[in-house]
Amino acid sequence: MHVEVRGLNKHFGDFHAVKDVNFGITKGHLIGLLGPSGGGKTSILRMLAGLETPDSGEIVFHGKTVNNLPPQEREIGFVFQNYALFKHMTVYENIAFGLKVKKANKHTIQNRVAELVELTGLKGFEKRYPHQLSGGQRQRVAFARALAPEPQLLLLDEPFAAIDAKIRQELRSWLRELIERVGITSIFVTHDQDEAIEVADEIMIINQGRLEQKGTPWDIYKEPKTPFVATFIGESTLIGSAAELKGFHNTGGKPTKALIRPEYIEVGHLNEFKMASATEQGIVKHLHFRGSEWLVEVEVNGHKLVTYRSLEKETLTPGQEIAVLVHRAYLFNDERSWIQENGLKEDPMPVFI
Amino acid sequence: MRKLWIGLTYLVFFLLIAAPLGKMTIGAFSEGFGGFWDALTRPEALHALMMTGFVVVVVTLLNTLFGIMMALYLVRASWLGSRVKGLLNSIVDLPYAVSPVIGGLMIVLLLGPDSALGAVFEQIGVKIVYAFPGMVIATLFVTFPLMVREIMPVLQEIGSQQEEAASTLGAYGWTTFWKVTWPSIRWAVIYGVILTVARSLGEFGAVLVVSGNIMNKTQTATTLVYQDVENFNVTAAGGIALVLAAFSAGLLLLMEWSKRRKEVH
């Protein structure tokens, strides 16, 4: 289902939970709504489902405005954070509920439930009650139940929040596969960036009720549009004044801040760099072993920068003096934000011999 | 020392519950089984028991229906402001705090023949106070919190997500209530029904004020016991009291049984 949202607003009392949100979702895509807790993600999802009424704005499914349609008629499936399974019904009855309500005939119901039980790997559990299932199994029942009436849009509210870390990983890839196989447009809410990056085709970053950026995980990582997105996605260090960094003096005169990701920084001995003039002196403060690499904390001009260093390279020691090259930085001021390469990396007067 | 305390506990239990019950039973049969039977089969006694039965049935039906609705609206209604909800919530508890006699008096003042509202009803030929409707209203006033207070915590505990899930699956209000909400609250409702029956069976103060205690007309079992005691007819009073007590004991056993069922579920 093609989903279009225009100028969506929602207040809860004095609290402006969702602020003028616009977006469109292509049919068949899996979208992650990502952002800090209390940012309005769940409110957006609930308005799409019809469980909450927007104060203003338009929600369009398939070119048809659905603002006045109740949840019953929106052809959606909703998976709740705590599953919300009908606790007095068996797995079979839970999955069959939506079909029974729609008065499907008995034979159809049996076939559809059997199909979903197969698809979600719940075979043999049909007679169990929710309290006799593990967290992961309940989650699967919730999926199967939401998918049973063949909805056009699947909405998932923090689908993995209540599951322990080990099974979560497994369920993520399972969900990704399942949704691909069913081919249903899906939107899920999460506050876990790894989850969003791993599962979603596209991510929408929501902060304080606003949609900050929408795009593929790679685009968002590579080109964050707002300082919030830059800090929220990936690791980074914030530098109060970009001009203090070597190679970033020409920032347009305005006070400009810089965000630096670990992979933007290179550390090593002076002779390891081609353009030694672009490097700065730093002191290794701490070393943390991260399994496949070293996490290096290095101090440059009173700023603490963080980077990774391969295990293949010579091991550093804390207190050691070292050359640091900042390849690029994400700069922002009151007016705009942009990514800037280190100005000294390009030799201003190349000499050809 | 420990033995002393155990002994004391049993003594208190005996003095407070067993002894009066025993004395009442002996009193009821002081003139043999015939005396007990005669006391029960007096026309006014039969009428009073019948009145009590009617009041219990009507009050329980009304209280169950409106109790469930009140609980649902107090917990689920998003269209009520939190302040309105808080106010309604405390009003529900009012009958706990107000003496039943005062409850009865309020009804007489509001709907009595001297009041404006009572006069209107009188004109269309419906007598409320000193008649059956008034007794039902008075008993409803006293029993109203019982059902609401049984159901509300259960509704709060199960939350609204199961109901929302049902709505996204295409179920409308009525289906959602019967298929999703009702199975979760039915034991609370049964519990509430038992409490309502027990309370309306034994209600005295409010009914006494509203009914006027007219023999063979508005007299209930409890008000008849009161009258028999006033007339020093202890045997008759004991007989009816014994019937009421037996009924209550039966209800308590039923409640115990339903509690056990609840745990099994």
Is the minimum CB–CB distance between A162 and chain B shorter than 8 Å? no
Q: Is the pLDDT of residue A24 over 90?
A: yes
- How far apart CA A311 and CA A293 sit, in angstroms, is 5
CATH class of the structural domain B44-263:
mainly alpha
Residue pairs spanning A and B at CB distance below 8 A? 64
SS3 percent helix, strand, coil of chain A, rounded to 5, is 30, 30, 40
List the domain boundaries for chain B: 44-263
**Cβ contact A78:B164 at 8 Å:** yes
Is the minimum CB–CB distance between B160 and chain A shorter than 8 Å? no
Q: Is the pLDDT of residue A253 over 70?
A: no
Which chain A residues are Cβ-neighbours of B180 within 8 angstroms?
86
Q: What is the DSSP string of chain B?
A: -HHHHHHHHHHHHIIIIIHHHHHHHHHHTTTHHHHHHHHHHSHHHHHHHHHHHHHHHHHHHHHHHHHHHHHHHHHH-SSS-HHHHHHHHHHHTHHHHS-HHHHHHHHHHHHSTTSHHHHHHHHTT---TTSHHHHHHHHHHHHHHHHHHHHHHHHHHH-SHHHHHHHHTT--HHHHIIIIIHHHHHHHHHHHHHHHHHHHHH--HHHHHHH---TTTT--HHHHHHHHHHTT-HHHHHHHHHHHHHHHHHHHHHHHHHHHHHHH-
Percent of chain A surpassing pLDDT 70: 96
Judged by phi (left if over 0) then psi (alpha if -120 to 50, else beta), residue A214 lies in beta
Which residue of chain B comes nearest to A96, CA vs CA?
B169
- How far apart CA A291 and CA A343 sit, in angstroms, is 34
Q: Please give the average per-residue pLDDT across A306-313, as a whole number.
A: 87
- How far apart CA A229 and CA A197 sit, in angstroms, is 13
Is the minimum CB–CB distance between B178 and chain A shorter than 8 Å? no
- The CA-atom distances, in angstroms, between A116 and each of A104, A119, A149, A214 are 16, 5, 11, 32
Q: Report the pLDDT value the prediction gives residue B208, as an integer from 0 to 100.
A: 92
| Mutation for A interface: B76, B162, B169, B172, most A CBs within 10 A | B169
Q: Please give the average per-residue pLDDT across B100-111, as a whole number.
A: 92
Give B181 to chain A, closest Cα distance, Å.
Answer: 9
Q: Check B165 against A71: CB less than 8 A apart.
A: no
Q: Is the pLDDT of residue B138 over 90?
A: yes
- Give the lowest-confidence range in A24-28, A55-59, A237-241: A237-241
Is the minimum CB–CB distance between B82 and chain A shorter than 8 Å? no
What tokens appear for B96 in the block? 């706990």
- Closest partner residue to B171 (CB to CB) among A49, A72, A146 is A72
pLDDT digits (tens, 9 = 90+) for A314-325: 888 888 888 888
Query: What single-letter amino acid sits at B75?
Result: V
- Closest partner residue to B175 (CB to CB) among A82, A85, A101 is A101
Residue A334 binned pLDDT confidence (cut-offs 50, 70, 90): confident
Q: Check A78 against B165: CB less than 8 A apart.
A: yes
Counting every residue written for chain A, the total comes to: 353
What are the φ and ψ backbone dihedral angles of B257, each rounded to 5 degrees?
-65, -40
Contacts of A8 (CB under 8 A, 6+ apart): A18, A20, A21, A22, A44, A47, A54, A56, A57, A58, A59
Q: Please give the average per-residue pLDDT across B26-30, as a whole number.
A: 87
Residue predicted with more confidence, B108 or A351: B108
Is the minimum CB–CB distance between B166 and chain A shorter than 8 Å? yes
* Domains of chain A, earliest start first: 3-232 (3.40.50.300), 237-341 (2.40.50.140)
Q: Please give the average per-residue pLDDT across B21-36, as a whole number.
A: 88
Beta strand pairing status for A337-341 and A328-332? Answer: antiparallel
Q: Report the pLDDT value the prediction gives residue B141, as an integer from 0 to 100.
A: 93
